[in-house]
Amino acid sequence: MLVGVDITRRSKAKADGRIFGIHESLDELARLAETAGMRVVGVITQSLQAPMSSTYIGTGKVQEVRREMEAEDCCTCIFDVELSPAQQRTLETEFGGEAKGIKVLDRTALILDIFAQHAATKEGQLQVELALYQYRLPRLTRMWTHLERQSGAGGVGLRGPGETQLEVDRRLINTRMSKLKRDLELVRGHRSRQRLARKMNVGLPVVALIGYTNAGKSTLLNALTGSNALAANALFATLDPTTRRASLEGLKLSPEILLTDTVGFVQNLPTQLVAAFRATLEEVVDADVLVHVVDASLDREVMQWQMTAVDQVLDQIGASGKPTVIVLNKADLVSEEEAGELFREIEERCGLNCVAVSAATGKGLEEVGVLVDEVLREISLSVEAVIPYSRGDLTSAVYSQGSIDAEDFVEEGTHIMARVPPSLCNKLRPYFVTSTIADGNKVEGLDTGDQIIEAVGATDEERWSDLAKKRHQPRAESQE
């Protein structure tokens, strides 16, 4: 049974972070429930000025949900809002209690469950486990109600076994969480070293495919690189990033790029997931260019909402404002006229370059390379360097990844003026002809190797913990 609440008081709606209309949001919730392996038997909605403190929905509605659930012999109720642990407990009791096996879940719990089912790699599993514990810790009391009852009449000095058990349990979970965090730090360190190595050695520009879940990112990766990453008509099919070397048609500046497929975004992405999946999401933060994949076959309004949700997540992880290309995918399901209109709308909305493609049929794919090439050109840097003859590898990298404006052979090495992607620029830095950098402005703002190391170190740490602090406001209710 799904329950949606429309909060009419505006400021509250904003605080909820909802951008979707209530019915579209419930449609999505139904798809999430199906992805998690459930069958939806009914949907109940309520319009409220503000949520009730104890049950979120009004008393009459609680009875209505209970009746409907009984009639359908249904034991799980999913709310399309974030419930506090206390509200969750109260609602469970109201709907028939634990004896009847009644469970009340919210959107976050549902998404966490799907993630737990889909996590394939060790890293993914660690991330999901941490997020699950973070979600469960404040809800722990209810698992031990039978023990708590034993200490009911106790009072000071007479703490019963139930309470002790609860404390033991909390402590065990806290210990486990610390261990998970340490393990994840290791993974994360490994990942950032890998990325750094990729930037410094492979030197290819990194392009990340991002977008709402089910937009077709994995299908596009497969179509562009001939690989076989899992693509499925399910939400959150991809959890672990895959990176492939790709030589797209239309790429000239750097004929090859590294293309990364990432986890899909969703409206109101649970905070626990953003924090736990930061190692994965850093792939996005670190990319040179983003390719925002949009499902163009959706209802126009839903498509706009999804794009807004993606922008919000980018903001949340500190990756907004990156050079971006918009890919309107599933064009095989849209008429030419509609596609044309969408183009205009998107240009109006964000002034970004966009292209309509079908990852399924291959239509328009060559355009993706052309647009990425344009963006790479915009962010490429003019350099002048004398590369010693002993560094033939660098010279050939400039040939293959940059466009050469002038070249001369001097005693110390090859003297070149060229436009190169930022990553290659870093490697050429030791050989710069200092006073004559053609495009001074741009080079100034460049990541040097040191800055990259810094970015994955302290500064970055602060950014993420700030985020966690901001989003993890303590709840008002007590946990008793």
Ligand X SMILES: Nc1nc2c(ncn2[C@@H]2O[C@H](COP(=O)(O)OP(=O)(O)OP(=O)(O)O)[C@@H](O)[C@H]2O)c(=O)[nH]1
Please give the annotated binding residues for GTP, written as ranges: 211-218, 236-240, 261-264, 329-332
Window of 43-51, 180-188, 215-223, 410-418 that interacts with ligand X by CB under 6 A:
215-223
Shortest reach from residue 278's CB to ligand X, in Å: 18
Q: How far is the CB of 180 from ligand X (least distance, A)?
A: 24
CA angle 111, 117, 123 (to 5 degrees): 95
Residue closer to ligand X (CB basis): 24 or 332:
332
Q: Please say which residue, 293 or 383, places its beta carbon nearer to Mg ion.
A: 293
- Asked if 237 touches ligand X (CB under 6 A), the answer is yes
Sequence-distant (6+) residues with CB within 8 A of 441 are: none
Q: How far is the CB of 421 from Mg ion (least distance, A)?
A: 26
Residue closer to ligand X (CB basis): 234 or 309: 234
Q: Which of 120, 172, 232, 458 binds ligand X (CB under 6 A)?
A: 232
Within 13 A of 152's CA, how many CA atoms are on the CB side? Answer: 6
Among 50, 186, 333, 458, binds ligand X (CB under 6 A): 333
**Residues numbered 204-263 forming contacts with Mg ion, rule: CB under 5 A:** 217-218, 237-238
C-alpha closest to that of 231 among 214, 219, 244: 219
Binding to ligand X in span 262-301, by CB under 6 A: 264
Question: How buried is residue 246: exposed, middle or buried, by Cβ count under 10 Å (0-12/13-18/19+)?
Answer: buried
- Residue 213's Cβ-count burial label (10 Å; 0-12, 13-18, 19+) is buried
Question: Contacts with ligand X: how many residues (CB under 6 A)?
Answer: 24
* Smallest distance from Mg ion to CB 230, Å: 7
Q: Does 238 bind ligand X (CB under 6 A)?
A: yes
Whole-angstrom distance, CA of residue 198 vs CA of residue 216: 26
Enter the DSSP assignment of 154: -
Tell me which residue has its CB nearest to ligand X. 264
User: What is the nearest approach in angstroms of ligand X to the Cβ of residue 23?
Assistant: 22
Compute, in degrees rounded to 10, the torsion defined by CA atoms 268, 272, 277, 279: 120
Q: Which is it for strands 43-48 and 206-211: parallel, antiparallel or unpaired?
A: unpaired
Nearer to ligand X, 270 or 421 (CB): 270
Q: Is 76 in the site for ligand X (CB under 6 A)?
A: no
Reading across the β-sheet that carries 413-420, which strands appear in turn? 381-388, 413-420, 403-409
What is the footprint of ligand X within residues 338-397 (CB under 6 A)?
358-360
What's the rounded Cα separation, in Å, for the pair 177 and 365? 44
| Nearest CB to ligand X, comparing residues 237 and 276 | 237
Among ligand X, Mg ion, none, partner that 130 touches (CB below 5 to 8 angstroms by kind)? none
Question: What's the closest the beta carbon of residue 129 comes to Mg ion, in angstroms?
Answer: 21
Q: Is the dihedral of CA 128, 132, 133, 135 positive or negative?
A: positive
Of 458, 442, 452, the residue nearest 206 (C-alpha) = 452
| Given 2, 128, 131, 235, the residue binding ligand X (CB under 6 A) | 235
DSSP type of residue 198: I
In three-state secondary structure terms, 182 is helix
Q: Which residues are annotated as a binding site?
A: 211-218, 236-240, 261-264, 329-332
Beta strands in 330-446 (DSSP E): 354-356, 381-388, 403-409, 413-420
Minimum CB separation of residue 334 from ligand X in Å reads 9
Binding site for Mg ion (CB under 5 A): 217-218, 237-238
Binding site for ligand X (CB under 6 A): 211, 213-219, 231-238, 264, 329-330, 332-333, 358-360
